[in-house]
Amino acid sequence: MAIITMREALRQAMDEEMARDKNIILMGEEVAQYNGAYKVSQGLYDKYGEKRVIDTPITENGFAGVGIGAAMAGLRPIVEFMTFNFALQAFDQIVNNAAKMRYMSGGQFKVPVVFRGPNGPAEYLSSQHSQATQSFFAHVPGLKVVAPGTPYDAKGLLKSAIRDDNPVIFLESELMYSWEGEVLEEEYVIDIGKADVKKDGSDVTIISYSKPLKYAMESAEILEKEGINVEVIDIRSIRPLDEETILNSVKKTNRCVIVDESWPFVSVASHIGWLISHKAFDYLDAPVELVTSEDVPMPYNHKLELAAQPSVEKIIKAVKKVMYI
Amino acid sequence: MAEKLYMIALSPTMEKGTIVKWNIKENESFSEGDVLCEVETDKTTMDYEATDEGTILKILIPEGGKAAVGEPIAIFGEPGEDISDLLSEEKEEIENVEEKTQIEKQVETKNTTIPKEIPENNDLKRIKISPLARKIALMKKIDISKIKGTGPGGRIVKRDVENYTAEPVRTVKEIKREYASIQVETRDEDVVIPLSDKRRIIGERLSQSKYTAPHFYLTVSVDMSNVLENRKMLNKKYNLSLNAFIIKIVANTLKKHRRINATLNNDSIIEFGRVDIALAVAQEDGLITPIVRNADKKGILQIDDELKTLIDKAKNNKLDPEEYTNATFTISNLGSFGVDEFTAIINPPGSAILAIGMIKETPVVENGEIVIKPIMKMTLSSDHRVIDGALAAAFMKDLKDTFENPILAIL
């Protein structure tokens, strides 16, 4: 397998799909002539031209709506948000139109649109530009929400998202674009709604996704040296959620830590915590622990910025807490 | 927070109680000390007093319903609270218990459900335990009140249950044993002998017999002249034990009194079709009761022969279980120890036991004159649930007649 960056994996996914289906268009701020703010769409403008790779003005609510309308009219748009922080401008379009149109039209309209872009805290961006928005979108019925943690998963999941007839929120992470990983050279897709056991273990389950998955894996490695055998589950798809894989793991290990870089209150993590307490109650030996971002706006100061987010230290501490050591 | 109200032990031996009356109905509030309901226990009807205050949100066991100690009987809390979770949990619980009792019934017939938590000092102390640990403890039948928790705040967690090695949940029998014995302070000069399994089983079985079977006793004096004379005559040729005569005479009399040769089986009485007579034999470490099967169909010679073999085996601890279990009637003879008379404890599944004293030269008034006769006193202990006084008396009269005229035994 080739070792490529997440950025390249995402580009390959879009390139392969656009080559396969001429109804697929890409739109967003600086995606065309500038090759993307984070260079995810590099080369696509030259290859597919201005009718399929479209630069938009800074009008998130507007171009998100255009994307939804285009999807209803038969195209398959990929709408890039320069960051999901800006998607909050388009929240009405996403929540009220994209998510509900198929339902409200009695199935007459499909909305095969993908909203993608970086999500979650990066660095030195302060509180308006550095937030993890997954809980907002995951809350809304009608949206699929996907957040890969490796280049391999990113490519396979993006291809599935593009082929999906429903709106998919595809969450990337700015800091992850340059992370490398093995990616299959031949064509493959990963089904939305399937979690992945990233590491087998018997003592405790860490559930994570997207960027913090890396911290979970690092924590597992450190804990392993102390004799604690950690299982790491990457949910990959937030909605639909693969409950079976989560529950099977917790039933095996009896202890669980959920790592989520969004805020703790009514979050993806808190939902999974409830799910476990509800459906695996008799298998629990300890209360489920959450490691999330602190319940505050993101500080600008770098030390505080780091302190507000999940870290390897916080995960190890939580694991030891559920292990009663 | 709504909570479950559990059945508590209102008497030391109570396992189950029937709710005769709910004094506080659903949606009525109560305060500490109020009588929530009246519970009919194994002994009497008791008041169940509230130890807390609140409102009865849901009655789980209606009037006339039974609940084992430790089982929830109601849910209480603040008026209007949502108790759907507790209710669905309760439903699951009941299903689990049903499933569990099904399995247990297959394994052992007598022990019913195990209480989930055994209350200590009749006080339902809340035990902190993880759901998983609780489940494991239930499966392994470990009494969680005995486990020391090492989790936060003393919470019992998986490792505590797994590392716990002591005895499984106390069964009804064992609880009774605890009531029967007391804590004794030992001193240097005391010799402490650990209870052997045999000793323990004797204790358990006889306690169970004495606790559950209402014993009553009838004593009769028998003139043994004829038996002794017959024996003396026969012993010119044979060497027959007195016990062989006793067994033969008892067996043949029992055949005519089927109710004495019977047992209580749940809601029926079984009158045994066989007469299997056990004879209590003393061993160094306890007592054993080898059995002469179908004694009514055997002659004294054969009975004596079998007895010799059995007693020999008993003294050498060589008896097979089928040689000493499931007698229909038992005889205990302490005559050779010079005991005049005594009362014995019924040996289940039999419903009666005959205690035989020594044959003693005794002055007896006969036709206005004092004559000296070899008199033997025998006492029948009977289980009143199966045998009534008059039935036992009729049997003893017949038995006395047969002892005094042994020829009747061959009729």
CB atoms within 10 A of CB B254: 25
- Every domain of chain B and the residues it spans: 3-111, 113-190, 197-410
Question: Any CB–CB contact under 8 A between B86 and chain A?
Answer: no
For A218, B118, B145, B157, B161, the CA distances from B136, given in Å and listed in that order, are 33, 16, 14, 10, 7
Asked if residues B378 and B254 have their Cβ atoms less than 8 Å apart, the reply is: no
DSSP sequence for A178-194: T-EEEE-SS-----TT-
Question: Any CB–CB contact under 8 A between B132 and chain A?
Answer: yes
Number of H helices, E strands in chain B: 9, 18
Question: What are the residue ranges in chain A where pLDDT is below 70?
Answer: none
Q: Do B132 and A324 make contact, defined as CB atoms within 8 angstroms?
A: no
Residue B226 phi/psi, 5-degree rounding, is -65, -40
Helix axes B242-256, B225-234, angle to 10 degrees: 120
Matching residue, tokens 């697929």: A24
Asked if residues A159 and A13 have their Cβ atoms less than 8 Å apart, the reply is: yes
State which CATH number among 3.30.559.10, 3.30.450.90, 1.10.10.10, 3.90.550.10 fits the domain covering B197-410: 3.30.559.10
Asked if residues A22 and A49 have their Cβ atoms less than 8 Å apart, the reply is: no
Provide the pLDDT for residue B190: 84
Q: Do B133 and A283 make contact, defined as CB atoms within 8 angstroms?
A: no
Question: Any CB–CB contact under 8 A between B153 and chain A?
Answer: no
Provide the pLDDT for residue B147: 87
Q: With contacts defined as CB-CB under 8 Å, which chain B residues touch A282?
A: 131-132, 134-135
CB atoms within 10 A of CB A150: 25
Give the residue from A275, A238, A240, A237 showing the smallest Cα distance to A256: A275
Give the residue from A275, A269, A289 showing the smallest Cα distance to A135: A269
Provide the pLDDT for residue A211: 97
Question: What are the residue ranges in chain B where pLDDT is below 50?
Answer: 101, 103-124, 168-179
pTM reported for the whole predicted model: 0.54
Note the ipTM here. 0.74
Q: Do B152 and A283 make contact, defined as CB atoms within 8 angstroms?
A: no
Give the separation between CA A93 and CA B354, rounded to whole angstroms: 95
Q: Is the peptide bond before B349 cis (omega within 30 degrees of 0)?
A: yes
Asked if residues B355 and B334 have their Cβ atoms less than 8 Å apart, the reply is: yes
Q: Do A284 and B158 make contact, defined as CB atoms within 8 angstroms?
A: no
d(CA B285, nearest CA chain A) in Å:
47
Provide the pLDDT for residue B12: 67
Q: With contacts defined as CB-CB under 8 Å, which chain A residues touch B128?
A: none
Local structure of residue A96 (DSSP, 8 states): I
Provide the pLDDT for residue B152: 86
Give the separation between CA B280 and CA B305, rounded to whole angstroms: 17
For A94, A171, A236, A279, B222, the CA distances from A239, given in Å and listed in that order, are 15, 12, 9, 18, 92
Provide the pLDDT for residue B121: 43
Q: Do A283 and B157 make contact, defined as CB atoms within 8 angstroms?
A: no
**Active-site positions of A?**
60, 129
CB pairs under 8 A between A and B: 27
d(CA A291, nearest CA chain B) in Å:
19
Q: E strand or H helix at A302, and its extent? A: helix A302-307
For A243, A245, A277, B82, the CA distances from A271, given in Å and listed in that order, are 11, 15, 10, 21
Q: Which H, E and C letters describe B191-214, residue by residue? A: CCCCCCHHHHHHHHHHHHHHHHCC
CB atoms within 10 A of CB A296: 10
CB atoms within 10 A of CB B24: 20
**Active-site positions of B?**
384
Q: Do B130 and A281 make contact, defined as CB atoms within 8 angstroms?
A: no
Provide the pLDDT for residue B194: 76
Helix axes B242-256, B389-404, angle to 10 degrees: 130
| CATH code linked to domain B3-111 | 2.40.50.100
State which CATH number among 3.40.50.300, 1.20.910.10, 3.90.870.10, 4.10.320.10 fits the domain covering B113-190: 4.10.320.10
Matching residue, tokens 């319940």: A295
Asked if residues B76 and B2 have their Cβ atoms less than 8 Å apart, the reply is: yes
Give the separation between CA B266 and CA B112, rounded to whole angstroms: 13
Maximum Cα–Cα distance for chain A, whole Å? 60
